Chain A
Amino acid sequence: MLMFALRRILVSIPVLIGITLILFIMLNVVPGDPVALMMKEHASPEVIERVRAQMHLDDPLVVRYLSFLWNALQGDLGNSIKLNRPVTDLLLKAFPNTLMLAVCAALVSWVIGIPAGILSAVRRDSLLDRFFMGFSLLGVSMPVFWSALLLQYVFAMQLKLLPVSGFYGWEYMVLPAIVLGWSSAGVSARLTRSSLLEVMRHDYIRTARAKGLRETGVITRHALKNALIPVVTIMAIQVSGLLSGAVITEAIFSIPGVGRITVNAISSRDMPLLQGAVLFATVLVILGNLVADILYSVLDPRIRSQMKKDA
């Protein structure tokens, strides 16, 4: 297992370097001068030129890329052009907020999604099934900016139960977590349902029932254990997705997280910051996939033995 994880981490190094290279080229191909964008209309061109030179933005592309790579290897992702602060600091300060949002959203998603999926599968084609599936379809298909506005209007403006937006305590977390969790709860619910239905058709379930086990026992002990394998995989990937920044949710609820940093970096062509943010997100996605694979092997002995062979 350890060998497997190590190998996966080693394999991801070229992926990371490749991504920085592609990003670097893309950012330099699209038009746009970060200094002109930062200083807006009210700066004179002489000042813009001077600042460009001071920031080494006039250096050749190769020199800039290599110096970025060299510094990145030493843990220094450079300074954000627009915010004039170390990129690493910015990301590390924003990450806990994103982490908190992601964890809360994931909890909402699982607490609603998985039981809903199980109940739907067990009571297939019942009114309950239709309700849960409709609810999850709504979550998946409703854009977050719309559900966010709707929930803000109802719970903050009309009922005055929760604050509209901001990030100053647990009650500020409720609406964004529901908004974000709802959309992924739909995925969890539908996946749990279809996977459970699939498993229920297998012979060993019939055998278990034939042995006279109670239906709850059949579902929890035999069916669920197997049905949850794909769900767990999706869960790990969902979390890494949530962690790399829930851009719209963060903007609507004014949460100072990684997503907002990334969007600001794109629109202001803040290359060091964008590079840092993308690198960060890439690492998270790679880690998310790794965790998913490991969980997979923990849950599924067939895969565990395959891994041993590979290692």
Chain B
Amino acid sequence: MTSKTTVKLLLASGLASLMLMSPALAENMLRVSYSEDPKTADGQMTTDAYTLPLNIFDRLVESETTGPGESALVPGLAETWDVSEDGLTYTFHLRQGVKFHDGAVLTADDVVYTFDRMLNPATKALNTDILTFIAGAEDRLDGTADSVSGLKALDDHTVQITLAQPYAAFLALLAAPGASIYNRAFTEAAGDQFGLTPETTNGTGPFILRDYTLNDSQMLEANEDYWRGRPKLDRLLVRVVSDSETLRMLFESDEIDVLDLDYAPTQTPYFYGSDQWKDQIRSGPRVGIYYYNINQLKKPFDDVRVRKAFQIAIDRQTILDKNFYGKGKLEDGVIPRGLTCYAPAEPIEYNPAKARELLAEAGYPDGVEINLQQVSSWSTKWSDMNQIIQAQVAEAGFKANIVTTDEAAFLDARKAGEAEAYTQVWSADFNDPDNFFYTFFSESGSKTRGYNNDDPEVFAGIEKARGMVDQEERCKLYQDLTARIVGEDAAWVPLFSLDHSYVVQPRVKNFVVPWNGWSDMNYFNVEVE
């Protein structure tokens, strides 16, 4: 071999490996990452990984980000819709000429099929909550009916959905990733394999699933015939990177385009302080609230004075500043800013002296012992928070022990009504207060989430608000409920809402933090240079 050929060969192999290592250089591809495998593209079968459903499928209505932390419901596969005066009947007029990735044309029957599939017990769907308000849904779920009486295709392009009782948040729910629309013929043929491989996945969305390697990556390709127009990206590479340090290195060596700081929270000061990266940070409010859960079945939290004392013994601003680098805002109500019906609630003061007095009043002049729970598999941010709260509430006379168990044991204890106080965050699944109030303070929610705030008046209020049509009145009711739950009963300890920050490579354009602050998002509008 001559030296010239050797050089040529070396050059060629170098180029080939360069192409392999940074395929983004070769084409218009965005590379993002998540910490866990999404398991499936089928939104009916997942409750926590929505990137594939959001990009491969469309829904009847979509919730679009209109500003930082703000959203609006906009037409999706349904071009228009009418709601009857009693709030029971929804008629959706479908967009014409929408095609699935396999070329099939969307019809009203596909919509009926999709929702019936979710409620069909044979599907074993996980997101049935979205549709249980439809008339006949419970019978279908129980196996006592073969179809859902409230679902009808009036003609090829009109779907009518009748609810069992009015539910104000129904439209917002239909924008959830779990309500993605499928094609009957294709999905029936794919059976239980639907959404698990590129060959068994078919939607109407902006991207087509081309490759899926479990625990490694998914490759999506632009849908040339997308009804809203072809996406700006040719490809979207979604990688699974579970180690946060690896993630940072991948980003800094330009192998990933978007770094979600949720997956590498300890790197926040580094990126905010870096001259190279600080202008590349995209941050937005998160419609989610950090809170402390207190179980009223556990002494001493059965006494409202002790709960009130705990509420005001926590210096929330310090936690926000020290643990979260000040990237967020204090919250005083049940729902966080950004959500429909949000209104500032009565501010909760930080007053350890007053907390001590309240404890004395409750019969604990020398302080009282409490347990703070944490779960070993959760992020270290929770244990960091518990430690700082442990020190803070000590000033008010709480002798807090930190108890650590694994998640399974924690869930079991909570189910049995024996959960210790714990801190967590709740992000909006859909833009409606019901998502927060019903989850935590309805008759079933209060018990299963471990609050045990047995307040019939609150239960009735939450049920009433679900069916109210007048939005202004409804919001007013939620504000009254907030005053009762947080103010009078001190059943909920709101902490703060955090911003969600991402660092993006300079080549990434039009990256908008989703209204709800999710990590999962639709990449239709994102561009790379």
Partner-B contacts on A (CB < 8 A): 30-33, 36-47, 50-51, 54-55, 82-85, 90, 93-94, 149, 152-153, 156-157, 160, 163-169, 171, 251-256, 260-261, 264, 267, 269
* Distance from A140 Cβ to chain B, minimum over Cβ atoms (Å): 23
Q: Is A42 a contact partner of B255 (Cβ separation < 8 A)?
A: no
Report the bound CA distance from A139 to B245 in whole Å.
21
Q: Is B249 a contact partner of A32 (Cβ separation < 8 A)?
A: no
Interface contacts beyond A163-B21, A167-B216: sample of 17 additional A-B pairs, CB < 8 Å, sorted by A:
A31-B412, A32-B407, A32-B408, A36-B411, A38-B47, A38-B126, A47-B128, A50-B128, A85-B196, A157-B249, A157-B252, A164-B246, A165-B249, A165-B250, A166-B255, A169-B21, A256-B215
| CB-defined contacts of A37 to chain B, threshold 8 Å | 407-408, 411
Q: Tell yes or no: B340 within 8 A of A by CB.
A: no
Q: Is A166 a contact partner of B239 (Cβ separation < 8 A)?
A: yes
Q: Is B243 a contact partner of A83 (Cβ separation < 8 A)?
A: no
Most buried by A among B196, B214, B239, B424: B214
Report the bound CA distance from A30 to B246 in whole Å.
32
Partner-A contacts on B (CB < 8 A): 17, 20-21, 37, 39-40, 45, 47-48, 121, 124, 126, 128-129, 141, 192, 196, 213-217, 239-243, 245-246, 249-250, 252-253, 255, 377, 406-409, 411-412, 415, 424, 426, 429, 444, 448
Most buried by A among B48, B121, B246, B255: B246
Q: Is B253 a contact partner of A156 (Cβ separation < 8 A)?
A: yes
Within the complex, which residue of A36, A54, A169, A252 is in contact with B124, where a contact is CB–CB below 8 Å? A54
Can you show 17 pairs from A to B with CB atoms below 8 A apart? Answer: A32-B409, A32-B411, A37-B407, A39-B126, A40-B47, A42-B429, A43-B47, A47-B129, A160-B253, A164-B249, A166-B216, A251-B242, A252-B243, A254-B215, A256-B215, A264-B215, A269-B408
Report the bound CA distance from A47 to B131 in whole Å.
12
Within the complex, which residue of A32, A84, A152 is in contact with B192, where a contact is CB–CB below 8 Å? A84
Q: Is A152 a contact partner of B411 (Cβ separation < 8 A)?
A: no
Report the bound CA distance from A32 to B40 in whole Å.
23
Q: Is A33 a contact partner of B408 (Cβ separation < 8 A)?
A: yes
| CB-defined contacts of B121 to chain A, threshold 8 Å | 50, 54
Q: Is B215 a contact partner of A261 (Cβ separation < 8 A)?
A: yes
| CB-defined contacts of A44 to chain B, threshold 8 Å | 129, 444, 448
Q: Is A51 a contact partner of B246 (Cβ separation < 8 A)?
A: no
Q: Is B39 a contact partner of A94 (Cβ separation < 8 A)?
A: no
Q: Is B39 a contact partner of A82 (Cβ separation < 8 A)?
A: yes
Q: Chain B residue with minimal CB distance to A55?
A: B124
Most buried by A among B37, B255, B408, B444: B408
Q: Chain B residue with minimal CB distance to A42?
A: B47
| CB-defined contacts of A50 to chain B, threshold 8 Å | 121, 128, 141
| CB-defined contacts of A252 to chain B, threshold 8 Å | 243, 245-246
Q: Is B215 a contact partner of A84 (Cβ separation < 8 A)?
A: no
Report the bound CA distance from A45 to B417 in whole Å.
14
Q: Is B213 a contact partner of A256 (Cβ separation < 8 A)?
A: yes
Q: Chain A residue with minimal CB distance to B414?
A: A36
Q: Is A83 a contact partner of B17 (Cβ separation < 8 A)?
A: no
Q: Chain B residue with minimal CB distance to A170?
A: B17
Report the bound CA distance from A43 to B46 in whole Å.
10
| CB-defined contacts of A163 to chain B, threshold 8 Å | 21, 253, 255
Report the bound CA distance from A45 to B128 in whole Å.
12
Report the bound CA distance from A254 to B129 in whole Å.
34
Q: Chain B residue with minimal CB distance to A163?
A: B21
Q: Chain B residue with minimal CB distance to A39?
A: B47
Q: Chain A residue with minimal CB distance to B247?
A: A165
Report the bound CA distance from A30 to B253 in whole Å.
42
Within the complex, which residue of B21, B239, B249, B424 is in contact with A171, where a contact is CB–CB below 8 Å? B21
Given A47-B129, A55-B124, A256-B216, the answer on whether A156 and B249 have CB atoms closer than 8 Å is yes
| CB-defined contacts of A164 to chain B, threshold 8 Å | 246, 249-250, 253, 255
Report the bound CA distance from A254 to B20 in whole Å.
16
Within the complex, which residue of A165, A169, A267 is in contact with B17, where a contact is CB–CB below 8 Å? A169
| CB-defined contacts of B408 to chain A, threshold 8 Å | 30-33, 36-37, 269
